[in-house]
Amino acid sequence: MSPEILTVLMFVTLIIAIALGHPLAYTLAAVAALFGLIDNSFNVPMLFDMFANNSWGLMQNYVIVAVPLFIMMAQVLDRSKVSEKLFESLYIVLGGLKGGLGLAVVVVSTVFAATTGIIGASVVAMGLMAGPALIKKGYQKELTSGIICASGTLGILIPPSIMLVVYGGLTGFKETSVGNLFAGAILPGILLAALYFLYITILCHFKPQIGPPIAESDRTCSAAQKWSMTLKSLVPPLGLILTVMGTILSGIATPTEAAALGVVGAMALALANRQLNWRVLKEASLATYKTTAMIMMLFIGGKFFSTVFLSLGGGDVVANFLLGGGLNRYMVLTIMMAIVFFMGMFIDWAAILLVTVPIFTPIAMELDFNPLWFAMLMCVNLQTSFLTPPFGYALFYFKGVAPEGVNIGHIYRGIIPFVALQLLGLVLLAIFPQIITWLPDVLFSH
pLDDT at 284 (0 to 100): 86
Could you give the CA distance from residue 148 to residue 406 in angstroms, rounded to a whole number?
Answer: 13
pLDDT in tens, 264-280: 988 988 888 888 888 88
Could you give the CA distance from residue 388 to residue 410 in angstroms, rounded to a whole number?
Answer: 14
| Structure-model confidence comparison of residues 277 and 2, the more confident one | 277
pLDDT at 437 (0 to 100): 94
10 pLDDT above the threshold of 90 = no
349 pLDDT above the threshold of 60 = yes
pLDDT band of 221, cuts 50, 70, 90? low
Average pLDDT over residues 360-378: 93
pLDDT in tens, 182-213: 999 999 999 999 999 999 999 999 999 998 88
Given a contact cutoff of 8 angstroms between Cβ atoms, the answer to whether 86 and 108 are in contact is: yes
Average pLDDT over residues 110-131: 77
Task: End-to-end CA distance of the chain: give it in Å, rounded.
Answer: 51
Q: What is the mean pLDDT of the chain?
A: 85
| Structure-model confidence comparison of residues 128 and 378, the more confident one | 378
Q: Which of 237, 206, 207 is nearest to 109 (CA)?
A: 237
Q: What percentage of the chain exceeds 90 in pLDDT?
A: 24
pLDDT in tens, 277-296: 888 889 889 988 888 888 78
321 exposure class (CB count in 10 Å sphere: 0-12, 13-18, 19+)? middle
Q: Which of 147, 82, 155, 87 is nearest to 116 (CA)?
A: 155
Average pLDDT over residues 308-323: 82
| Structure-model confidence comparison of residues 420 and 250, the more confident one | 420
434 pLDDT above the threshold of 60 = yes
Any idea which of 55-64, 357-366, 437-446 has the lowest mean pLDDT? 55-64
pLDDT at 146 (0 to 100): 94
pLDDT at 217 (0 to 100): 63
Task: Verify cis geometry, omega within 30 degrees of 0, for the bond prior to 403.
Answer: no
pTM for this model (two decimals):
0.83
pLDDT at 405 (0 to 100): 86
| Structure-model confidence comparison of residues 446 and 248, the more confident one | 248
Residue 433 has phi, psi (to 5 degrees) of: -60, -20
pLDDT in tens, 68-80: 888 888 788 777 7
91 pLDDT above the threshold of 80 = no
Instruction: Return the exposure string of 284-320: e unless at least 16 CB atoms fall within 10 Å of the residue's CB, then b.
Output: beebbeebbeebbbbbbbbbbbbbbbebbbbbebbbe
pLDDT at 47 (0 to 100): 82
pLDDT band of 331, cuts 50, 70, 90? very high
416 pLDDT above the threshold of 80 = yes
pLDDT band of 113, cuts 50, 70, 90? confident
Any idea which of 134-148, 235-249, 404-418, 431-445 has the lowest mean pLDDT? 235-249
59 pLDDT above the threshold of 90 = no
Q: What is the DSSP letter of 385?
A: G
pLDDT at 41 (0 to 100): 80
pLDDT band of 216, cuts 50, 70, 90? low
pLDDT at 190 (0 to 100): 94
258 pLDDT above the threshold of 70 = yes
Map out the domains of the chain as residue ranges: 65-444
